[in-house]
Amino acid sequence: MVYEGTVDVVAEYDEEIRSPSVVWKVPAVVRLRRMAPRSKRGVRFSRPNVYQRDGYRCQYCGERKHASELSYDHVVPRAAGGRTNWLNIVTACRICNTRKGSRTCDEAGMWPLRAPAVPASLPLAPPSLGRDIPPEWEGFCSGLAD
């Protein structure tokens, strides 16, 4: 990317890359010259994305849980023609999902705290870099180390 001119080198390591005609220091941090094009597809429907949209909270009892303690629930049950998509799925803890069963919200007397919706975007989880980051990265990674 340096050779193609699509990035600028911001920081370098001491090591070098050599060819018969050129010697370069190994880039440690680079900056794109142009932003990558945004995806126009939207947020992909998946179990982890549903959990993230709902804040890892059961939409019936409101308790925040770990992903292993959650499932997703069809607001309109599949048995009643409900589809598996953003507008019919909410996060539910296993207890509430079992209690609701394959009944509608009216039949079960359980309604989601927030109506399911298609998210425009989801926040990106920050990268986990651990404790051993190269010194060349330190000024660029403040607050990201675990």
Q: What's the number of domains the chain is made of?
A: 2
What's the CATH number where 97 sits?
A: 1.10.30.50
Q: Is residue 76 part of a domain?
A: yes
* Tens place of pLDDT per residue across the chain (146 aa): 888 899 999 999 999 989 999 888 999 999 999 987 876 778 899 999 999 999 999 999 999 999 999 999 999 999 999 999 999 999 999 999 999 999 999 999 999 999 999 998 887 665 666 667 788 887 877 666 54
Coil, strand, or helix at residue 69?
helix
Statement to judge: residues 75 and 51 lie in one domain: yes
Residue range(s) defining the domain that contains residue 60: 47-108
Domain-embedded: residue 58:
yes
Q: Judge if pTM exceeds 0.85.
A: no
Judge whether 122 lies within some domain.
no
Task: With respect to residue 23, please indicate whether it lies within any of the assigned structural domains.
Answer: yes
Cα dihedral sign, 60-69-99-116: positive
